[in-house]
Structure 1
Amino acid sequence: MYRALSDRAGLEDVVVEPTMTAARDMSLPCDEILAAVGHVVYDWSLDDDTMRWGPNALDALGIGTLDRITTGRAFAALVDPGSLATRYDAIHDGSSDAGGGVAFQVQYSLLPEGRTSERQLWIEEIGRWYAGKDGKPHRAHGIMRVINERYEQEQRLAYLARHDELTDCFNRGHLLATLDQTLAETGSSPKPLAFFIVSISNLRAINEAYGFDVAEKTFATVARRIKACLRDGDAIGRFSSRKLGIMLVHCEEDDMRAAAERVRAAVRDDVIDIGDESLAVTVSIGGVGLPRYGRTASEAVANALSALHASRRLGSERFAAYKPSAGSQADRKLVASQSRALAAALAERKVKLVFQPVVAIGTRKPLFYEALARVEHPDGTVVEPARFIALAERIGLVRMIDDRVLELALDTLCERPDIHLSINVSAETIGDSEWTARLSHRLAARSDLAPRLIVELTESIAINNVEEAATFVGMLHGHGCRVAIDDFGAGFSSFRNLRLLAVDFFKIDGSFIENLPANSDDRTFVRALAELARSFKVPVVAEWVQDEETVALLADWGIDCIQGTLVGDVGDQPGSPQP
């Protein structure tokens, strides 16, 4: 295979000469093929430490003369001492040769010193060593290749697994893992720590006034400023879209307020210049002393959030330290109990769907059914979303609920080709690439499902992150699905931004509909919403319709569809379509 090596004494058995006709008839010799793809072949005699190389070794490895790598010891001098392993380590790992040699694989780097190349090279080496009569390694041969590009990509992925790309701070998972590890290391002689959650109070207003890009750059600038005022051993990470988490080592409870003041000063003392805009940022901070008020990261987060809520009640630009109370501890026990029940229901696939029709206001013909999630408890009771969605969002299980709802809805569409369904998704899901991938996979297998699936976003979700919502809506439209804005009117949003989303339905929030005949303010508001939706040329659904008097008013204002107990209760199965 490698003619340059086999021509030399003792190297005939380094590789086996191909015997297939196709290999013998190749127009290029194998050494040129290996060189062309950047592979370097070597043979190493461990008895006398001599190494023999393929003809492209000098160019591939950036070595000036072959004399620098004629022995294993000389080559080892080029290896970065900081490498975790070398070829020598891989061969002398305690393995034994049963007669056919022992395969090894190792990765290390070569430093620029002693080479013509000025860059560090990462090498992947795959080979096999053979034992002598004494059972010790006697000879080895293998192939090396430079893997700088792959190594850099792997390092980048490893970095992103621990860091937030926008801020270069830790991501939430790694921050909390670091906090957990630090708490565990305190052992029986705990050292004082503090954990802060910093909320940028006016980031939403900046987003609405200047756009998503300016808000993100503002967040990144705030993170950099706070990071610069921390000490060695402290840690900072992105906790959520508007919050940062900070772990402060060797911080007594009495020192927390002074530390919070340093953080606030780092943010507020200078305006933030983003392009042509100069912005002032305000923050609220909640802090907890550890391990006194928390021996795990989850306890620290819960107590810091409780303190943050307290700081907001005091006003903007405030700091509050966590102090336990009987009420807060009872609430936390209740949440913990409910959390366990919800997690168990998800694990046991106890989430089910019920269905309510949305009908044309004139014909009362069902146009689609809204699929609503319910959770079944072990005692047989069924829990409605109002009692578990907020909890699921708080403890990070809402994505699992959205995943299960999508799965059940698509299964129902497969079983019932005569109906259309709508499902609701949370704010977490509109940026969840895994949810999107699962949807794409299912729709690729059944293209008939997409036109019969409607995805509902609440108005507040859509407006809080217009750009992300627009991307999500575009993805759904690209698959052929339709999109509805749910709870329309509840958020008093920028209608200009809603129009940018190009949705297929508006669903007026039921709180404006349930008392419509008796409440003149609701009538004025709903009529205005109906006129606005008509200007967008988007069909409108009125929710929570309970009587014919309400229907008459809605029909006069041009409402297209209605939903509520008057035209259909919630049921375990969608009804049959009317002819």
Structure 2
Amino acid sequence: MSLFRQIWLAVIVSALIAFAGSFVASMLTARHYLSQQLTIKNNDNAASLALSMSQLDKDPVTVELQVAAVFDSGQYAAVRVIDPEGRVMIEKTSPPQTEGVPAWFVGLFPIVSEPGQAQVSNGWSQFATVELVSHSHFAYRELWEGGLRLLLWFVIGGCLMGLLGTHFLRRIKQPLDAVVAQAEAICEQRFVRIAEPAPHELKSVASAMNVMVDRLKAMFAKEAARLDAMRREATLDPLTGLANRAFFLNQLDAALSDDDAVPTGSMLLLRLADLAGINRRLGREMADELLRRMGSALLAQANEHPGAAAARLNGADFALLLPGVHDPSAVAESLLGTFNDLVSAGLIDGERIGHIASSPYLHGQGIGSLLSRLDAALASAEGQGTLAWSRAESGGQAHATTNADWRKLLDGAIHTQRLRLIEFPVANSRGQLLHLECPLRLQAAEGGEWLTAGSFMPIASRLAMTSELDLAAARLAMERISAGAAAVAVNLSGESIRDEHFRRRLHAQISTRKELAPRLWLEVSELGAFRHFGEFQAFCNLLRPLGCRLGIEHFGRQFSEIGRLHDIGLDYIKVDGSFIRAIDSQPGNQAFLKGLCGIAHNIGLTVIAEGVQTAAELAALPDLGFDGATGPAVPREKA
């Protein structure tokens, strides 16, 4: 039974007990009072009648007329005239009258009054005795109406007490509900704090739970910091903070081979001339400062371009990968300026300064051919002088078009529904299907080629058109689920989730087929989620009640932010494929990923590996704690 029902039951029972006691006590008191008043009235009326009879003639007719006149007033139950010998000379009686008063009430509270008596004189002698009994129905009616008034006041008072009790219970229940919600969130491995309620008993509970949450968060933050340090050690150059050679080659491989990667871009190779001589002439500290300054310049360029990656390949060689950048002239000129700044700062003192090579790339080409072109271009730059930039020729021609053409193409595809989903299996360690990952494809023209998401989504983001494409992807996913698919995952753009109007439209779209929501998996890239974290949290809070599964894809580069995922109710993360490449032979990455899986499981997240290329990589994942995998090595089996 709910607290509200219990409090109403308690109020009703209390009111009934109080009413019963008050009713009996007040009725008995009132009955005694009315009985006394009737007795007094009987005596007064008998004396008045006797006095008037004493002044009249005592013949029988006159006496009877006098008695009849008094009796006919209707106020008396009986009037008797008794002679001195005790014989009844005249008697008038009427039956009891209790109209409007229940018989059970009359029987429960009988009103008994003593008859009034007075002497009728005839001169100096006694003529007779008058005995008079008044009707009690007036007293019964007054007693009954008093009982009804008492009942009414108790009903009103009980209702008021019940309403006040309900109101106060609601006020008390709000902080109690907050404490319960916090406990449920902790059971779901979401560690949320709540405001401490005013009631002391609840305040102590909430305070203790908040302390526990803070300690858990601190523990996870400490563990996350340890694992992030491990990640940096395994993937970054310790001096410059750029990616090391092995990790950069994994990123480059993903850019050239992953299905959802941007299909074109540029890569730059930089070399500091005579680093060994600088180290010998200026000292180790100056040489290290030179490398750090160059690393900072490359990192700044990478941060300005989504998906870019910067690396230190070896002692004097650096690389910069720029997906979606067809003309790297501005970047190259900026880096040439950095070389000049280093000369001005006295960090480069020789005749030779540095050289830059650049080359475009296309999705699907080999790493070897791209690096060979860059090496040739770098050799050409070294032959041009102290500071030079050489551009390699492209191995193919990328499709290029204007923003207006892209807008027309995207609008046409959306309105004519030239969109479809393709599917890739995501399976657990036992080979069972978790869901189908379904990236979006767009047909450039009727009967034309189907473009990958990497080809058109960056353009759609620039043109603020991702919302319509993401809504279409969600609609196609729900259609596929309705047709019998076990579970379908679609990727949503970070630009879309930051749009409140898009979030409301997506919520409304899913709400129309709410029974399909538990099989719909929605994921956002790590970059989009953390760049717009407040909007991402609002997105999760809005869609979680529908039953959708929510996740982050391409996770790992911002691992230190994992502590922010405690309380948003996320279901899964997909670890970026660059961490998975050759994982079977990289102990450093293995230790990091094992720790990542452990901390993710502690906050209730399923962990899935992306871009699994080989059977050896797939076989290594269960021991690291991964719950599932996707990529070319995962068999295409249906659920």
Task: Give the TM-score normalised by structure 1.
Answer: 0.40
In the superposition, the TM-score normalised over structure 2's length comes to: 0.36
Give 1 or 2: higher helix fraction.
Answer: 2
* Higher RCO (C-alpha 8 Å, min separation 6): 2
Write 1 or 2 for the structure with the bigger share of strand: 1
Q: Greater Rg, structure 1 or structure 2? A: 2
